[in-house]
Chain A
Amino acid sequence: MSMLANGVTAPPVPGLTLSGPTLLAFFKTDCPACHLALRYLDGLSRSIGSGDRVVAVSQDERASTDELMRSLGADLSLRFDHDLAASAGFGLEAVPALFLLDESGRVLASSQGFDKADLNRLGGELAKLLEVPAPELARPGDGNPDFQPGCVSRHLEPESDAVAAEIPDLYSRRAGRASRIDLPADADAEEWCYESGYADPLPVVPPTVGRVERMLAASGLTPDEVVAHVPPNFGAASAEKIAANAVMAGCRPEYMRVLVPAVRALCDERLDIHGVQGTTHFAAPLAIVNGPVRLELGFACGSNVFSNAARANSTIGRALQLILRNLGGAAPGRIDMSTMGNPGRFSFVIGENEEVSPWGPLAEDFGIAAGCNAVTFFCAEPPRPVSEHKAREPRVLLRAICPVLANLWSYRVCKRSEAVVVIGPEHAATLDRGGFTKRDVVEFLFENTGVPVSEYDGDGGEGTHEAGYYDECVIRGMRCYRKFRRPESIRVMVAGGPAGKFSAVLGSWATGPRGSQMVSYQFE
């Protein structure tokens, strides 16, 4: 049996008498996609207000359902399909399953699984029927995936005595409060924190109650509000936990303005920090900050941009790393098994030098307008230097960058890496004088970065087995394989100090939908 088609009259739902257009949402309590959908449906229900216009139908008992609603902070009108007759009658295959019914019970629209586009469509249609403004329900890039398949409907589950494994808590919005610990009177607080496993190997500022409360107050969030769940252990990054780690890292309270959206972006499924936390590779999440916030909070964008130049960069980056370790569980030698590591595992945050850049900011590549604050993440290898002090013409300068790009991941591996090219201000000026737009730079680098076909001489080294799948091209008369899959694999930005004709190239981890994709988040 398949889902009820549009136009068909739906069977009754226990305890529900339709009094107008109604959005029904079938769910079960142990389905992560249901948890996700319920968060948005709760928002829809609150924005519409009175009456049973959004009704959540649980396939489980009241106790587990109430517990779920509490953890989600949701206040939805509930019904229970205890005998699962309605679930069968509606022809559910998976949950969450949404049905928009008119007052007579006719199906107007439906959806299965979690899908932001479907939620927005059904929410919009409901609002239209009720003649209320359409609420902004599920936005792209809000920290949650755009789509997630559902779980099999309870009535189709095979009968079994097996006990299901506990599912990770991915979407609850409220967490328990952090415990308070009284240090022994004779304790050295810094040593105590270190011995308690709170820290990386550098000293931390003890997260005393007063300091954490000041940090929390600056965030404007309630202490138990969950910003994200940090992989791989999915520990809840509540505002209070973020604040405690921010204190330890040495952040100022006003940095919470950046840190909170940065934690949300860091845990965006597209970035796949889950994989990066456990890799043997060099990758570490690099945060790139755009917008007026750079100047307001004093981010380093110029000299020493990758090093220890500014409190904002160093401490926000360190706070992110402490959060990954303390809430995500990725401590070196346990989950984090990187062979060589990355100095960026202490802190890895740069600001774009927008004031000297001839081009738009990096976040613009991701649809965020120039002038807006944004944090963009790229899971990056350590920076590789480029020196070119003689070139006076863009093509000559960019030729110095191409061989550095060609070496990413491994010289003979093509079509795998992405790159962020950080152009130093003097190089940016040379490119601008030569009339090169950012697009021209990207296209030149794409067209002129390759590995000579003669390098693939049958020795069996890394990248040689896949050569049949590479794209051949000719670069300066030489047959080559193109290094990058497409021009968008290369992102260009401007940062660094005013003197010195240097740039930097950063390679990626595994990329694309099967690896890590860059994410960019706007904030106020």
Chain B
Amino acid sequence: MSLTVVNPLDERPLPEGSAPPRLASVGGARIALLDISKGGGEVFLDRVDALLRERYGVSEVLRFRKPTFAKPAPEAVLTDIREAQPHAVIEALAD
């Protein structure tokens, strides 16, 4: 006789998502950098900032910061990023 089990998993379908189209070039683009406020993040992002401008001709680098890496970005930070209308956002994820 076969057994019947109760599904113990979250059964919602995974939300579908896809990466936005890649920029053809970052030359002249406005790029946002999101520092998640992990120690050393600003050191890394300062270098990325400089490289984007010097090596890739990015016209403007905008800097944003989460108040803590331990929690999701608050709506205010996301709103600030959206309102700045960057062509792309780079999130410095961790350490």
What residues of chain A have their CB less than 8 Å away from a CB belonging to chain B?
149, 166, 176, 178-185, 187, 189, 193, 197-198, 206-209, 212, 230, 233, 235-236, 240-241, 243-245, 248, 272, 274-275, 279-280, 322, 326-327, 329, 462, 509-510, 514-516
Contact = CB atoms under 8 A, between A and B. Distances in A.
A241 B9 CA distance: 7
B4 A209 contact: yes
A166 B68 contact: no
Interface stretch (B10-18, B25-33, B54-62): B10-18
A198 B15 contact: no
Contacts of A193: 5
Interface centre among B1, B4, B5, B95, by most A CB within 10 Å? B5
A274 B10 contact: no
Contact of B10 (A181, A209, A327, A509): A327
B17 to A, nearest CB: 9
Given A166-B15, A193-B5, A233 B68 contact: no
B7 A329 contact: no
Given A206-B3, A207-B8, A208-B6, 11 more contacts: A178-B11, A179-B6, A181-B4, A184-B2, A240-B6, A244-B6, A244-B8, A280-B94, A280-B95, A326-B9, A514-B70
Contacts of A514: 67-68, 70-71
B95 A198 contact: no
Interface string B58-88: 0000000001111110010000000000000
Given A235-B12, A236-B10, A326-B10, A183 B4 contact: yes
Contacts of A275: 69-71
Given A280-B94, A510-B68, A185 B1 contact: yes
A391 B8 CA distance: 51
A209 B3 CA distance: 9
B46 to A, nearest CB: 15
Given A280-B94, A326-B9, A327-B9, A510 B70 contact: yes
Contacts of A245: 8
Nearest to A180: B4
Interface of B: 1-12, 15, 39, 67-72, 75, 94-95
The 4 closest A-B pairs by CB, nearest first: A235-B10, A514-B68, A244-B8, A275-B70
A233 to B, nearest CB: 6
Nearest to B1: A185
10 contacts: A185-B1, A187-B3, A189-B3, A197-B9, A235-B12, A240-B6, A322-B8, A327-B10, A510-B68, A514-B68
A207 B5 contact: yes
A244 B7 CA distance: 7
B23 to A, nearest CB: 19
A157 to B, nearest CB: 12
A328 to B, nearest CB: 8
Nearest to A235: B10
Contacts of A212: 6
B6 A207 contact: yes
A465 B63 CA distance: 23
Contacts of B8: 178, 198, 207, 241, 244-245, 248, 322, 326
Contacts of B4: 180-183, 208-209
A241 B10 CA distance: 8
Contacts of A244: 5-8
A235 B7 CA distance: 13
B19 to A, nearest CB: 14
